[in-house]
Amino acid sequence: MLKVIFIYIFLFLISSDILAQCFSSPGNPIGGTANLGSVEKKLLRISAFHKYSLSDYYLEGHKNSDFILYDCADMNFIGSIIAYGLTDKFTLETELGYFINKTIYYDKRLVLPEYKSKGNGFSNSVISAKYSLYFNPDKRIKYTLSAGVKIPFSTEPQYVNNALLPMDVQPSTGTYGTVIQSYLLKENSLKGMRYFLINRVEINTENKQEYQFGNVFITSLFVSKHLHFRWQWLTENWTAILQVRHEYRTKSKNRDIEVGSSGSNLLYLSPQLNYTIKEKWNVSVIADIPLYQYYYGTQLANKFAIGFNLTRDILFK
């Protein structure tokens, strides 16, 4: 049962991390590697997901801005995550992502040669090692640490029609980075509730264009509950999860000078519904709703995001 809940949360985290991206403080979706840390020995976990995100208004600090440049921006991202438990405590994980599109649409009130800039292609990949530091089966507590390296698909920036794409729509950060995560799980079997606290830090380095994306600090609190209603035949395979996530991004730097309109302080609410098919497949739908957004300078703010996940666990004996 615990395993199934892990999968639920895993799916949820994948989604929320992908959606953590906004166009005003770009780069790539943050990881997707944030699952619950270690998986059991000889367990192969494969996940595929798709995300759509839309941003369509400017914020200056936390107030609306009348600035016009982008009318809106959206992106479609697909990715996969593969994790394998080398031992019961030690897990290796890889992530690969691809932007189907990462597009900004310029405001038609401006007189411009074109009204769209679109990038696509492979994002960064992440390879991480996770180690379960503490597990108390009586108290149902587990704590896991993870360290990984972010590897860009390409260190060269993308051009379209021989014009350099804006940083906002580059599919890859074009540079290496470090990802540190911790996972704390507490389970209450009597109530059928689980609580998760997850921290993630992402350190970015400078790319060839001498641009350094800001570092990212994320704290997520999850509450999950297996659904039990009167009509058990209807609800037995369903799990509801609610996440509150805080994201803090430091300002990006360009040639060692801080980029004025970069960096943010965001709070999201992310409800998710999960369905298990024959205890083998997990299908999940998630929404990302901004509760509070504060952007340094003036930046395009995220309106909403939705996602779909599919995960399968395979245990090798």
Partner 1 sequence: MRYCGKACAKAVLTGLREFGIQINLIVPIMKKYFLFGFLIVIIMFACKKEKTEEPVTIQLNFTSLVADNDTILPGTTTNITANATGEGLVYTWTSTGGGNIIGSGTKISYATTPCMYGNYEVQCEVKDKAGSSQSKAITIRVQ
Residues near partner 1, by CB under 8 A: 60, 65, 67, 69, 106, 110, 112-114, 117, 159-164, 166-168, 209-211, 254-255, 257, 259-261, 296-298
Contact 130, 91 (CB under 8 A): yes
Cα gap 64→55, rounded to integer Å: 13
106 vs 196 by CB, closer to partner 1: 106
User: Rounded to the nearest whole angstrom, what is the least distance from the CB of residue 174 to partner 1 in the complex?
Assistant: 14
Cα gap 38→87, rounded to integer Å: 9
91 vs 207 by CB, closer to partner 1: 207
User: Rounded to the nearest whole angstrom, what is the least distance from the CB of residue 183 to partner 1 in the complex?
Assistant: 36
CA angle (271 as vertex; 8, 12 as ends), nearest 5: 30
User: Rounded to the nearest whole angstrom, what is the least distance from the CB of residue 60 to partner 1 in the complex?
Assistant: 8
User: Rounded to the nearest whole angstrom, what is the least distance from the CB of residue 156 to partner 1 in the complex?
Assistant: 12
User: Rounded to the nearest whole angstrom, what is the least distance from the CB of residue 21 to partner 1 in the complex?
Assistant: 17
Task: List, as one string, the DSSP characters of 107-146.
Answer: -TTS--S-SEEEEEEE--EEEEEEEEEEEETTTTEEEEEE
Q: Which residue shows structure tokens 């609580």?
A: 195
Cα gap 191→211, rounded to integer Å: 49
59 vs 179 by CB, closer to partner 1: 59
163 vs 234 by CB, closer to partner 1: 163
User: Rounded to the nearest whole angstrom, what is the least distance from the CB of residue 70 to partner 1 in the complex?
Assistant: 9
Strand locations in 152-263 (E): 159-160, 163-164, 177-188, 193-204, 211-212, 216-226, 238-249, 253-254, 257-258
Q: How far is CA 283 from CA 185, 265, 277, 309, in A?
A: 22, 31, 8, 6
62 vs 228 by CB, closer to partner 1: 62
182 vs 254 by CB, closer to partner 1: 254
